[in-house]
Amino acid sequence: MTTSYNPIELMICVASRELEEGSTVAVGTGAPCATAMLAQKLNSPNLSIIFEAGSICPQLPEMPVSVGDSRAGYKAVMVSTMGAVMETCARGFVDYTFLGGAQIDMYGNLNSTYIGGTHEKPKVRFPGSGGANDFGSFCWKMMVLTVQDKRRFVEKCSFITTPGWLRGGNSRYEAGLPEGTGPYKVFTNMAIMDFDSETRRMRVISINPGYTMSDVQDNCGFELLRASKITETEPPTEEELRILREKVDTHRYVIGRS
């Protein structure tokens, strides 16, 4: 029997498998928080979740609605400050981060600031960085959760809020960011991508059920590289969906958007 699920549930379940036991992950609210919670409740009970507002290693009882929600500090080892959290990332203590944005380019640069016009007079203004620049700059592996279409996957971001591989090659490290950090994987409703180790361009490694490589490429504004062997993504299991729906996002704050 095939279990039904929506695109957001698919992305969360698949991405949560990346968070191994004993690792650390910096997240904001929404889908990144749901992903970390699912991993903590299902496969990685000793996963250390860190929120930009200052909560470190909470045991989340339910989905917080913001990084400053009191639930984000439930049974936390420490509730500190944003400065302390960013220092923790800068000192190399955080393995992963999950981010999103209005635009992403072939090198994993993210834009969550504005589109069109100028910075002073944009056509569309977005919330901006929050902690995304720091997380993307200093956490070891940056992962992205986003729905895929040509408006989001663009050849060049209107503004770089969070640095990815910048212009490709070694440009990220030449700009002064710590060696060994950088974009790791991108999870969309259609596919999973990583980044070529030399050019640093986005590369398809797995296609989600119900989609083809043509679907993935047609919904991207730049040419995607292809891994030598592209697999089919394992769909969410019944247990993953049960935990996600009954113990993580019980009020459907995130998974109800589809």
Question: Does residue 121 form part of some domain?
Answer: yes
Q: What is the pLDDT of residue 124?
A: 96
Question: Does residue 186 form part of some domain?
Answer: yes
- Which positions are annotated as active-site residues? 52
Question: Does residue 111 form part of some domain?
Answer: yes
pLDDT tens for the chain, 258 residues long, are: 457 999 999 999 999 999 999 999 999 889 999 999 999 999 999 999 999 999 999 998 889 988 888 999 999 999 999 999 999 999 999 999 999 999 999 999 999 999 999 999 999 999 889 899 999 999 999 999 999 999 999 999 999 999 999 999 999 999 999 999 999 999 999 999 999 999 999 999 999 999 999 999 999 999 999 999 999 999 999 999 999 999 999 999 999 986
- Please name the residues in contact with 188: beta carbons below 8 A apart, sequence gap of 6 or more: 11, 146, 147, 148, 208
Q: What is the pLDDT of residue 29?
A: 85
Q: What is the pLDDT of residue 1?
A: 41
**Do 168 and 199 meet the contact criterion of CB atoms below 8 Å apart?**
yes
Question: Does residue 21 form part of some domain?
Answer: yes
Question: Does residue 34 form part of some domain?
Answer: yes
Question: Which tokens go with 120?
Answer: 């002073």
Domain enclosing residue 180, as ranges? 7-257
- Total domains in the chain come to 1
Question: Does residue 2 form part of some domain?
Answer: no
CATH code of residue 54: 3.40.1080.10
Question: Does residue 119 form part of some domain?
Answer: yes
Question: Does residue 1 form part of some domain?
Answer: no
**Other Cβ atoms closer than 10 A to 70:** 10
Question: Which of these, 208, 108, 207, lies nearest to 164 by C-alpha position?
Answer: 108
E strands, the chain, are 24-27, 48-51, 55-56, 78-79, 96-99, 103-104, 110-111, 114-117, 122-125, 141-145, 183-187, 191-195, 202-207, 225-232
Q: What is the pLDDT of residue 2?
A: 54
